[in-house]
Amino acid sequence: MPHVQVRDLSVWYGNAQVLKAVNVDIPDKQITCIIGPSGCGKTTLLKSLNRLLELTPAARVQGKVLVDGEDIYGNHVDVVSLRKKMGLLSQKPQPLPMSIYENVAFGPKVHGVRSRKELNGIVERYLREAGLYEEVKDRLHEPAAQLSVGQQQRLCLARGLAVEPEVILCDEPTAALDPVSAQAIERRFKELSRHYTILVVTHILRQAKRLADHVIFMYMGELVEAGPARQVFESPSHPQTQAYVRGDIS
């Protein structure tokens, strides 16, 4: 069964409809890239998956999003544990105003982990998974704000992984990074996709071509086409997809 299923999802900001009846499946343990021109609703789709849209007062959501078969917008869903399942990596790295150690330990602590020994283990493990441990192991208790932007993004990745999500949502994760750091993050994604379902919103076509196992193409709030990467890039069925993939529209 696909990990996440979106059924007839529509989103309004005030009177403007930003997502129009989107229907799509997100496959398990693969990297799915959401591509499309700016303003097409990619980020809105992403944010509707961990119910962050609710923070915007004017946003209205209709439709269903099923994770492992359960509608996350249902009445009895615990938003907090849902968000634990869905990690988020933002475009601009958001280190919390604390030390490197505290950043990674934030999630587990918030969920009740108290033992120092356990936290130490968690911090080391996920810093390694994010590929950051070697660079920071001697300065774990320094403020996270002192890291370079690329390091901060990997820190945010580690922080998100530390709560053991099933899905990692990424909103243009390398847009603010230099090429070397961007590459490092992409390598991490490839590694991580063995164990996690990864969803990446990106406006960089080449990045999508490098990373994606699966592709979703959106245009003006509508889902135009979705399918395996090779199929969408090499033989897209929709003329719009064709035009975008060729670079005619952006």
* Contact stretch for other proteins (CB under 8 A) within 6-14, 28-36, 52-60, 232-240: 52-60
How far apart are CB 245 and other proteins at their closest, in Å? 30
Which residue type does 243 have?
A: A
* Contact stretch for other proteins (CB under 8 A) within 18-26, 108-116, 199-207, 212-220: 108-116
* Contact stretch for other proteins (CB under 8 A) within 65-73, 156-164, 179-187, 197-205: 156-164
How many residues bind other proteins (CB under 8 A)? The answer is 28
How far apart are CB 21 and other proteins at their closest, in Å? 26
Instruction: Round the CA-based radius of gyration of the chain to a whole number and report it.
Output: 18
105 interacts with other proteins by CB under 8 A: no
| C-beta closer to other proteins: residue 84 or 125 | 84
Report which of 52, 55, 31, 41 is spatially closest to residue 9, judged by C-alpha positions.
41
163 interacts with other proteins by CB under 8 A: yes
Residues found near other proteins in the complex (CB under 8 A): 50, 52, 55, 57, 80-81, 83-84, 86-88, 90, 92, 94, 96-98, 106-107, 110-112, 156, 159-160, 162-163, 169
